[in-house]
Structure 1
């Protein structure tokens, strides 16, 4: 009965409305919005690294809860997701090819069937979470299923079962990335979200880096133990550490601010979650309908975002680094690097990309700009791919080129942050954007790698790196198109930028911070200031504006 009751709670009940005036909000959440507070010296220094430290105590406690539950869980999930996928490449050069008698294009086909699974599952998974099963149930369940599929790869004796398992892994993992982008964008403000989104993406670099270390360690210590090859232990090890993470997700995922049931948030913090989103002009989630879904394709938004996003998705040349290393030989013809070194050397590029990702996200949050930093990351990828296409260069230059392709990784977190800012008025669109983008890129990548990076031609691909350099250039054009269309939409809808840099309607402008001399400011002076910015009708609405919050009836 307990299990049946648990599944009944998988779908959030209809929310109830709680209405507060702006004065009541300032009174109820005074401890969160106060400005007359002193920070310890340690917190002042730490605030340059992580913005949570520069807030009032109540606000700081709330943010630490979010980071320690939401971001920590998402970091672990993406770490394991990347580890699972990177391990196919590492296992291939660490004994799988010989043990299973693999040849030709089978390495690329493992990626192809995974992409097909991701295509099949991406959009249905998002609609399921919007309308039927809340993320706190759906996402951990999907992680448990893909973990089981990964572990079964260790038992495979031929390529056939691996194809089937990789397809299932793609289906189960397809919901994760779009959902994470939407949830992070629903809980964090513009000055907070780029760092969080990039921390999530940093997990991918950590996973890729750790996969090399783990594979090297397993080859050294467990290869042949109990008659099991080292590459098989890699998939077993993945499952052992993934299953507890999936179980942890059932407790720590908070769904969305207006429907959260998180036990680690107090009733006041749950209401504050909704209020602080509405203060920015962000809208609450509504039910996804077919009419709304197809309506997305009548707007520039889904095309403006997915132009650069799909092209970014298709550029994954850094995954061929170890195949290039494997081709390097000594004068006597022996391989220049051992299997352990083939797994370890690419980790240097991942470490550099992690550092650059954090630095660019921090500066982006500080200045409130996304496009310039995306273009810088794209430039790294372009230069790296161009040098690899030229090919006949000193080995040290090609080493640098391989690392440059990895330095383009900050693109992911920054463009997702940009979409969270630009489309803050449409939470359903934010969830569907990446699902559609992943579907399109997956449909293309399913066969593109077979043509551009055929395994028998490794490591010198005739036109693969040049093609990817062209995609880098086109994605830069797509970023500029996004900039133009976003500014055009703001002008056409006569929106204004609030203090967070988000474009909102004038009636959605709010500021709940409590200033010491606020009570001494004549109301007529505030109205005069407003009239200088907005028309008389907007001011009248702002005087009587109330904030209606949708709170799950079981949340408080």
Structure 2
């Protein structure tokens, strides 16, 4: 382990000695090799100095890898109802009405009830490292209970409580990831986090196909029932690992896999970015947050595109035109694969350019095009398949919006968490009833107004992105904010003490001479 250091800071005739961060000199001071530049495009740690590289890799191995795995499990447990429905569940339980949509409606109702309270709990009383894994254990057990249901009614209740438990995961992980990673690291990781949902949807199709082929009728249990049992069994060990892997926040962490030096550096790193640590949420702070127009203007582009999501109805069209059960489950996974690639490329472009909003607009456009094509409907079957596939190119939209929120709301950890919590509450509130109007089961696979409304929502999302951008720029100018080394807007006094380097000329942003002394 490297020895502790002190920094001698010389400013004109005056020299003073101050404590340094353990990794104060992690900023790259040597030119990148060609190999580092190439690998750095793929993953940013290759561009970092050895000390910081080891630190970020440790975050990736424990926090980020667990976030991905846990979210994959969440999506599996959330979306398996759709695969089960087209794999025998509909016929076995005689579900010939709106039951499929109601399963999602009750899940969404539970999710929206829990989203904001879960954020308040993690900001006020219970550590995320205890709350999120405990919620995951609850929903894993309830998912397995669906396999024993003989009718739709008990499934409604189970789906409500599963949604309530799962509401802790998505906004919780987004808040935690945004509290540990810098802007140049966050975009691609948020995209990969979102891509894990696409991967889960792919795995769900593969799992259901495998289960249906090999387990259908085993021990007298239908294949669709085995899907819930297997998904629940997968979830339990993943949930248990969360008690160890989730580090809470830099200022409150007790993670055993972080050394004392790592914990000190974590705090200083976020201070350098300008990202404020979490503090206890009070009623006064809550009122202050939501008396500003900022959260509401952000929620417009964050939510409205999702109101018109339509790719989950693709399998109903496939089944209606005569594809086998295996193909109904497998073909949509190609769209998930497109989404994986699009999310990674879009996030890398946003990290390289240092801006989020242009790539968010680029993400909305293919969803809009697909909705317009499906609105016409009287097109070849290949065009209908293409329209559903190209919508997946819009996958980067949500992770880029979340990364943007971590940056524009970096002055308040409570705002970051609550905005995402409210955003998910709005999303699931709308999802509880809007699909019943846009995509009624009895009209499948050709819906009267669903795709037309979806196109309108996508156009509104583009307008919302531009409105929030203009408001943010106006507010930053009004508050006199300046850009720091990470491209984020902070108060002028926050330009000081960036990883121990003091600015002596804020206008020109010139640093003092820093020398390292071994002690």
CA offsets 1:308-358 (integer angstroms, 9 cap, x no match) = 112133232110010011111xxxxxx2x1100000000001101100100
Note if 1:468 corresponds to 2:454: yes
Partner of 1:546: none
1:339-358 equivalences under 5 Å are 339-358=325-344
C-alpha deviation, 1:247, in angstroms = 0.5
Q: Pick from 171, 174, 187 the counterpart of residue 194 of structure 1.
A: 187
Q: Pick from 112, 118, 129 the counterpart of residue 125 of structure 1.
A: 118
CA contact (8 A) 1:78 1:203 kept: yes
C-alpha deviation, 1:41, in angstroms = 7.2
Query: Hey, what's the Cα distance between the residues in 2 that align with 1:404 and 1:29?
Result: 47
Partner of 2:106: 113
Partner of 1:8: none
Partner of 2:506: 530
Partner of 1:416: 402
Partner of 1:145: 138
Query: Hey, what's the Cα distance between the residues in 2 that align with 1:70 and 1:109?
Result: 35
Segment drifting more, 344-353 vs 75-84: 75-84
Calculate the TM-score normalised by the size of structure 2.
Answer: 0.92
Q: Secondary structure at the match of 1:33?
A: coil
Q: Pick from 317, 325, 331 the counterpart of residue 324 of structure 1.
A: 317
Partner of 1:17: none
1:253-268 equivalences under 5 Å are 253-268=246-261
C-alpha deviation, 1:93, in angstroms = 0.5
Query: Hey, what's the Cα distance between the residues in 2 that align with 1:281 and 1:30?
Result: 17
In structure 2, relative to structure 1, the CA distance for the partners of 1:485 and 1:228 (3 Å cut) is: same
Partner of 2:472: 486
Query: Hey, what's the Cα distance between the residues in 2 that align with 1:185 and 1:25?
Result: 29
In structure 2, relative to structure 1, the CA distance for the partners of 1:226 and 1:463 (3 Å cut) is: same
1:376-391 equivalences under 5 Å are 376-391=362-377
What is the RMSD computed on CA atoms of the aligned residues?
2.1
C-alpha deviation, 1:289, in angstroms = 1.1
Partner of 2:346: 360
Query: Hey, what's the Cα distance between the residues in 2 that align with 1:532 and 1:51?
Result: 28
C-alpha deviation, 1:298, in angstroms = 1.1
Partner of 1:219: 212
C-alpha deviation, 1:513, in angstroms = 6.8
CA contact (8 A) 1:31 1:58 kept: no
Note if 1:94 corresponds to 2:81: no
CA contact (8 A) 2:481 2:489 kept: yes
Note if 1:74 corresponds to 2:67: yes
Query: Hey, what's the Cα distance between the residues in 2 that align with 1:491 and 1:290?
Result: 29
Query: Hey, what's the Cα distance between the residues in 1 that align with 2:7 and 2:338?
Result: 49
Query: Hey, what's the Cα distance between the residues in 2 that align with 1:513 and 1:296?
Result: 29
- Gapped regions of structure 1 (runs ≥ 5): 1-19, 329-334, 534-538, 544-556
Q: Pick from 406, 410, 417 the counterpart of residue 392 of structure 2.
A: 406
Query: Hey, what's the Cα distance between the residues in 2 that align with 1:501 and 1:179?
Result: 25
Q: How many pairs are equivalent? A: 500
In structure 2, relative to structure 1, the CA distance for the partners of 1:320 and 1:372 (3 Å cut) is: same
CA offsets 1:66-112 (integer angstroms, 9 cap, x no match) = 00111111101111111112211110000000111111100000010
Partner of 1:177: 170
C-alpha deviation, 1:295, in angstroms = 2.2
Query: Hey, what's the Cα distance between the residues in 1 that align with 2:249 and 2:474?
Result: 30
C-alpha deviation, 1:294, in angstroms = 2.4
Q: Secondary structure at the match of 2:179?
A: helix
C-alpha deviation, 1:26, in angstroms = 7.0
Query: Hey, what's the Cα distance between the residues in 1 that align with 2:499 and 2:156?
Result: 55
CA contact (8 A) 1:497 1:504 kept: yes
Query: Hey, what's the Cα distance between the residues in 2 that align with 1:386 and 1:36?
Result: 51
Query: Hey, what's the Cα distance between the residues in 1 that align with 2:115 and 2:383?
Result: 39
Q: Secondary structure at the match of 1:250?
A: helix
Partner of 2:426: 440
In structure 2, relative to structure 1, the CA distance for the partners of 1:131 and 1:21 (3 Å cut) is: farther
CA contact (8 A) 1:309 1:437 kept: yes
Partner of 2:289: 296
C-alpha deviation, 1:204, in angstroms = 0.3
C-alpha deviation, 1:441, in angstroms = 2.2
Partner of 2:3: none
Query: Hey, what's the Cα distance between the residues in 2 that align with 1:76 and 1:313?
Result: 23
Query: Hey, what's the Cα distance between the residues in 2 that align with 1:531 and 1:371?
Result: 28
In structure 2, relative to structure 1, the CA distance for the partners of 1:443 and 1:502 (3 Å cut) is: same
Q: Secondary structure at the match of 2:250?
A: coil
CA contact (8 A) 2:21 2:499 kept: no
Q: Secondary structure at the match of 1:284?
A: coil
C-alpha deviation, 1:426, in angstroms = 0.9
CA offsets 1:41-62 (integer angstroms, 9 cap, x no match) = 7655422200011111111111
In structure 2, relative to structure 1, the CA distance for the partners of 1:109 and 1:34 (3 Å cut) is: closer
C-alpha deviation, 1:28, in angstroms = 3.9
Q: Pick from 155, 158, 170 the counterpart of residue 148 of structure 2.
A: 155
- Gapped regions of structure 2 (runs ≥ 5): 1-5, 10-16, 513-519
CA contact (8 A) 1:313 1:438 kept: no
In structure 2, relative to structure 1, the CA distance for the partners of 1:180 and 1:30 (3 Å cut) is: closer
CA offsets 1:444-472 (integer angstroms, 9 cap, x no match) = 22111111100011000000011011011
Calculate the TM-score normalised by the size of structure 1.
Answer: 0.86
Q: Secondary structure at the match of 1:405?
A: helix
Partner of 2:495: 509
CA contact (8 A) 1:26 1:513 kept: no
Query: Hey, what's the Cα distance between the residues in 1 that align with 2:221 and 2:350?
Result: 47
